[in-house]
Amino acid sequence: MSDPEKDMREWWRSEIIEMEPGIIRYRGYAIEDLIGNISFSQMIWLLLRGELPDKAEAELLDIALMSAVDHGPQAPSIAIARMAATCGVGLNNAMASALNVLGDVHGGAGEQAVELYCKIAENDDFERSAETAVTAEIDRYLENSGPYLPGFGHRFHPVDPRAPRLLEMVDRAARQGIVSGRFAAIGRQIEVELEQRKGKRIPMNIDGATAVIYAELGFPAALARGLFCLSRSVGILAHAWEQIQQGGRNKGPLPRQYLWHYDGPASRSVPTDD
């Protein structure tokens, strides 16, 4: 028999949050006990994963989050945030228009890199020879998903200054037994393999390096994109805010006096019916 109240209460289900009047618990922990005892990064982990990380794990997550906040106004997301801020919308709206474009191309490389690393780690040959597994999965990737490996190479930076430093952080955590170091090794082996194939270094970039951290910490690939969104939202907010302080109304992409190049039909008359 139909029970409307039950239908209604069960339409939305969550393991994240429980509420009663005066009570808020996240994953079973009362909010007043969490406040002051766990960090923002630990909270992010708790909400996404269901259990509290220990402090060292959360510190590594914190490092990944702080390292990818911004890449300047030439990035479409940042330019969008700044343009939106001059159009008479709220900060939340400017942030949303920008965050929205962190799609497969602009925000997906971390997710794709975690997927690639995980396939390598799960390859039958991996335990015996990481090199063999890397070679096999790169072959497979290049055949199925196009010419560029996600997380390697950068069109602006010959060496992305964030990547080696992030790998240092992973190495330190591995020495301390916080993570296995397996994905850092995979990432480095990809660099070696790419250099052999291309005859020049195609070094790991920020997406490849944060993907190493997310993989080491056990995040599923899809959350690498989510975490990047949280991280990049900081730069998006900062640039929207800076633009608001600079002022401007309806700021376009280029200085106003330089119009786009029109390459359509020449001026013509609207045909009449007769």
H helix or E strand, kind and range, residue 18 = strand 17-20
Q: Is 235 in the site for its own copies (CB under 8 A)?
A: yes
Six-digit token pair at 153?
């190479």
With CB under 8 A as the contact rule, the residue among 124, 143, 196, 256 that binds its own copies is 256
The residue count for the chain:
274
Q: Give, as ranges, the residues between 159 and 198 that touch its own copies (CB under 8 A).
A: 159-162, 164-166, 168-169
CB 42, min distance to its own copies, A:
8
Q: Is 218 in the site for its own copies (CB under 8 A)?
A: no
Cα–Cα distance for residue pair 240/118, rounded to 1 Å: 36
CB 191, min distance to its own copies, A:
16
> Among residues 82 and 120, whose Cβ is nearest to its own copies?
82
Cα–Cα distance for residue pair 250/69, rounded to 1 Å: 25
With CB under 8 A as the contact rule, the residue among 147, 200, 265, 274 that binds its own copies is 265
Give buried/exposed letters for 138-148 (b at 16+ CB in 10 A, else e).
Answer: beebeeeeeee
Cα–Cα distance for residue pair 197/27, rounded to 1 Å: 47
Q: Give, as ranges, the residues between 50 and 69 that touch its own copies (CB under 8 A).
A: 50, 52, 55, 62-63, 65-67, 69
Q: Give, as ranges, the residues between 76 and 95 that touch its own copies (CB under 8 A).
A: 76-77, 79-80, 82-84, 86-95
> Among residues 79 and 185, whose Cβ is nearest to its own copies?
79
CB 213, min distance to its own copies, A:
11
Residue type, 115: E
Six-digit token pair at 203?
């070094």
> Among residues 72 and 218, whose Cβ is nearest to its own copies?
72
Cα–Cα distance for residue pair 136/84, rounded to 1 Å: 45
CB atoms near residue 55 (< 10 Å): 13
> Among residues 124 and 155, whose Cβ is nearest to its own copies?
155
Q: Give, as ranges, the residues between 118 and 157 that touch its own copies (CB under 8 A).
A: 155-157
Residue 67 near residue 50 (C-beta atoms within 8 A): no
With CB under 8 A as the contact rule, the residue among 144, 176, 196, 257 that binds its own copies is 257
